[in-house]
Amino acid sequence: MARIAVYPGSFDPLTNGHVDIIMRGASLFDRIIVAVLTNAEKTPLFSVDERLAIIRETFADAPNVEADQFSGLLIDYAREKQACAIVRGLRAVSDFEYEMQMALMNRHLQPAVETVFMMPAEQYIYVSSRLIKEVVALGGDVTGLVPAGVQARLTDKKRTRK
């Protein structure tokens, strides 16, 4: 039976830290579903459709990486997809407490689904979607920290919002 993992998040926007974790997950599992939470933030920068399009174009050459959206409980979505694991990236100690709470709550709700943590490459340890948006809004350069398609869209959004 295929081993399926779900990698959930807001991905507003996808960063190279996310890309790194997805590639690691794709090498461990038969399929990895990058699942965009649809009701996370009330005012996201990118629509869910834009975020899905970015994921699909970034992983166009990776046949076992899929993009999807979900709402409601993550663990219900993971069960519906017959996933054996939830993948999460861990960057620093500051991520740990929140991630541990989520992993243990998800285990309480559904013991059959394991949470698997992976560390991104060191050069992405400090990268977050929130900081990327802030730096771009204030005129900083995020080259090398996000996929090219994200960078182009960020520049477009900045131009049209001026």
Selected range binding ligand PNS among 3-11, 23-31, 43-51, 152-160, rule: CB under 6 A: 3-11
- 43 or 160: whose CB is closer to ligand PNS? 43
**Residues forming a β-bridge with 6:** 33, 86
What residue type is assigned to position 60 of the chain?
Answer: A
90 binding ligand PNS? (CB under 6 A) = no
DSSP secondary structure letter of residue 157: H
Q: Does 102 bind ligand PNS (CB under 6 A)?
A: yes
Q: Rounded to the nearest whole angstrom, what is the least distance from the CB of residue 103 to ligand PNS in the complex? A: 8
Per the annotation, the verdict on 27 as an active-site residue is: no
Residue 18 phi, psi (nearest 5): -60, -45
Edge-to-edge strand ranges of the sheet holding 65-70: 65-70, 31-37, 4-9, 85-89, 114-118
Query: Judged by CB under 6 A, which stretch of 22-30, 56-64, 99-107, 136-144 contacts ligand PNS?
Result: 99-107
Whose Cβ is closer to ligand PNS: residue 46's or residue 159's?
46
| Two tokens, residue 59 | 């992983």
Answer yes or no: 128 catalytic: no
